[in-house]
Structure 1
Amino acid sequence: MGIKSFQGSRKQQNVVAPSSLKVKDYMTTQLITFTPEQSVQEVVESLIKNKISGGPVVNDRQELVGIISEGDCLKQLSESRYYNMPLEHDNVEKRMVRDVETIDGEMNVFDAANKFLSSRRRRFPIVENGKLVGQISQKDILKAALQLKGENWNSTIKTSNSA
């Protein structure tokens, strides 16, 4: 005879609906941004000072025009040494990635997590009405997951996967 498990009646748990876990509620809105005219050297200094790995590039109307990362700066550093060109003579516009994939602020965090996994990106900007309004990172998604109570996690995931 096998072991039977019995659990008495339980109080109704507060289950968080996946649709309420939106990217816009977990995105960072106080962003360190760069401009196309800035020197790569300034970007490197800012990345180090602020302990970040990259950031959005915006024009004077706060419209997203690109992203610059540590990797973009490293590439410039390597080329400047090879061609004997000083770092301060290169600007963000020459080094930034222009084809920027964004995420919708209304997307739920579980779909955003899947987007991170499939794209292998570290961050996604959020744009509304053509303006940069925030950024979501892998760390922000992890923070959202930690804020869920353990007993809600399984219910939320099951509901999210069945939708």
Structure 2
Amino acid sequence: MLQVRDAMYPVNTPLTGSMALVEAVSLILESGYTGLPVVDDHQHVVGFLSEHDCLPHLITDSYHCDSHLKVADIMRADPLTVSSGQSVIDLAQQIGLNKPKVYAVVDGVKLVGIITRSMVMRELNNSLRNCKVVA
């Protein structure tokens, strides 16, 4: 059974609550994902910051050329997480019911990576591609 840990990507630079908005946006853009998890000092997931969360603040702050916002001010404080041991099929069904495109992957409570809807689709497509039809 394919598990989330087999399909996820590690997060090398997660966001922190004390990080400035401009730094967080730079990391999100460099990651190529639509958002990143926010962790505390123990790598426990405490939030999630998406492009959608940032955009209204970027409009206002760039217009005034001033920003004092920190990630903790605008992050989603109830992030969706999935266990690294969860089945990819179960996650695919869960994604079908929810709108988020990126989930933080945890081992216990510690961040170990992220998984996106496209990563799940890729794994399921590879699985289907490798099926052998017996007639």
Please indicate the TM-score interval, normalised by the length of the shorter structure: 0.7 to 0.9
Computing the radius of gyration from Cα coordinates, the structure with the larger value is 1
> Is residue 103 of structure 2 the alignment partner of residue 121 of structure 1?
no
Contact 2:34 2:102 in 1 (8 A): no
What secondary structure is seen at the aligned counterpart in 1 of 2:36?
strand
| Counterpart for residue 106 of structure 1 | 85
Match of 2:113 among 134, 137, 147: 134
| Percentage of identical aligned residues | 27
3-state DSSP of counterpart to 1:52: coil
In structure 2, what is the equivalent of residue 86 of structure 1? 66
Give the number of the structure whose residues are more often strand, by fraction.
Answer: 2
Secondary structure, aligned partner of 2:72: helix
Matched, 1:145 2:124: yes
Counterparts of residues 1-40 of structure 1 (less than 5 Å): 20-40=1-21
- Could you say which residue in structure 2 is the equivalent of 1:60? 41
Q: Any conservation in 2 of the 1:33–1:57 contact (CA below 8 Å)?
A: yes
SS, match of residue 47 in structure 1: helix
> Post-superposition shift, 1:120?
0.8
Kept after mapping to 1: 8 A contact 2:103/2:114? yes
**TM-score (structure 1 length as normaliser):** 0.72
Deviations 1:27-65 (A, max 9, x none): 112443111111001112222233221101111111111
Q: Name structure 2 gaps, 5 residues minimum.
A: none
Aligned-partner SS, 2:73: helix
Name the SS for the 1:93 alignment partner: helix
* TM-aligned CA distance change 1:49 to 1:81, over 3 Å: closer
Counterpart residue identity of residue 101, structure 2: R
Note if contact 1:31-1:135 (Cα within 8 Å) is conserved in structure 2.
no
Give the distance between the partners of 2:35 and 2:132, measured in 1 at CA.
31
SS in 1 for 2:9: coil
Moved over 6 A (4+): none
**CA distance change for structure 1 residues 72 and 154 in 2, over 3 Å: closer, same or farther?**
farther
Amino acid at match of 1:150: R
1:42 alignment partner, one of 7, 12, 23:
23
| Residue 37 to residue 154, structure 1, CA distance change in 2 (3 Å) | farther
Structure 2-normalised TM-score? 0.85
Distance 2:98 2:57 in 1: 24
Which position in structure 2 is the counterpart of 1:69? 50
